[in-house]
Amino acid sequence: MNVEEQRNQQREAYYTSREEVLDTLNQRRSDSSLQRRINEFIQDEIGFENPCEFQGAGILARHLPVCRKETLYSKALCNELGVDFAMPSFSNDRYVNCSAEKRSFLKFNTHDGQRVELVSGQGRNNYDILRATLRDLVCENSRTPVIDYHFFRTNSVIGDFGYFDFDPQGLVASEYYPAYLAMFGGINCLLEDFHGGESGAALKKFTQGIFEPAFRRVQSELGFKPLVTPIPFESDFSQYVFCPNSAQECINMYRGRIRNNEL
């Protein structure tokens, strides 16, 4: 099997095309028993209630609700699909030391506000992980919690979006990912490409070891295919956007490219 054939097989097995998403969401939302079954599954899996109250939303799940070009593309895609856009945060996750920009304006709430380097290991791409969660971090100048900073900054740039915090309460990904896919891919649509090539072998290990088994388990036990719609990778998707006018121009541009099947 060549690379293209393998890619098509993965698309068919794990993803739902943009053309199918809206009809599938509408069908699932009309099933009165589905939300109950999803909630029961999540409760059994992770030991607490489903924190996601959205129905029929496109969800870009990142550690923080940051406003980057990837965010604007996802917002544009949701606009084209006619669904709400949502971004959760994962405030109890560890801070990963991979961005000089982030390091430049962060302090910890602890240790009397003094900058500290508490390396506790290395992340998926060999970046340092600090012994602090995202909720421990504040902006250096304003002392604003980093999560609040990004939420209000993003809200000021793109307008309202769905938001909640997901705390797996100490569970590792292999333990909470079935619930994660049921939560975000049951009567919502997760915007993600787990088979994309931008992260190399590190992403492949996560995809094969965590995502695919969790996906198959949800499909087997709940009787539905988690809704995951792939988003593309572009080299500038990591760029932050802070100007509302620039953001709207990007969203309009992405909507045009989506309509023309260029993205």
> pLDDT tens across 52-99, in order?
888 899 999 988 888 999 999 999 999 999 999 999 888 776 655 555
Number of compact structural domains in the chain: 2
Residues whose CB is less than 8 angstroms from the CB of residue 181 and which lie 6 or more positions away in sequence, other chains included: 190, 211, 214, 215, 218, 226, 228
Identify whether residues 188 and 253 lie together within a single domain. Answer: yes
Task: Quote the pTM value.
Answer: 0.84
Q: Among residues 124, 139, 154, which one ends one of the domains?
A: 139
Identify whether residues 78 and 44 lie together within a single domain. Answer: yes
Identify whether residues 83 and 202 lie together within a single domain. Answer: yes
Instruction: Write out the residue range of the structural domain in which residue 195 sits.
Output: 14-90+146-259
CA distance 121 to 68: 27
Q: Among residues 106, 139, 172, which one ends one of the domains?
A: 139
Identify whether residues 86 and 153 lie together within a single domain. Answer: yes
Identify whether residues 161 and 225 lie together within a single domain. Answer: yes
Position 5 in a domain:
no
Identify whether residues 244 and 122 lie together within a single domain. Answer: no
Residue 81 near residue 18 (C-beta atoms within 8 A): yes
> How does 66-97 read in b/e, with b if 16+ C-beta sit within 10 Å?
bbbbbbbbbbbbbbbbebbbbbbbbbebbbbb
Identify whether residues 167 and 236 lie together within a single domain. Answer: yes
Cα four-point dihedral sign 232, 234, 238, 242: negative
Identify whether residues 253 and 204 lie together within a single domain. Answer: yes
Position 240 in a domain:
yes
Position 1 in a domain:
no
CA distance 68 to 240: 4
Position 6 in a domain:
no
Fill in the DSSP letter of residue 18. H
Identify whether residues 29 and 129 lie together within a single domain. Answer: no
Per-residue pLDDT of the chain (263 residues; tens, 9 = 90+): 676 777 778 888 899 999 999 999 999 988 989 989 999 999 999 888 888 888 899 999 988 888 999 999 999 999 999 999 999 888 776 655 555 555 554 444 444 444 433 333 333 444 444 556 777 777 666 677 778 888 899 999 999 999 988 888 888 889 999 999 999 889 999 999 998 756 556 688 889 999 999 999 999 999 999 999 999 988 899 898 989 999 999 999 999 999 999 98
Identify whether residues 153 and 135 lie together within a single domain. Answer: no
Position 133 in a domain:
yes
Residue type, 121: G
Identify whether residues 27 and 151 lie together within a single domain. Answer: yes
Give 16's Cβ-side CA count (13 Å radius).
Answer: 22
Identify whether residues 42 and 169 lie together within a single domain. Answer: yes
CA distance 91 to 142: 19
| Predicted pLDDT of residue 75 | 97
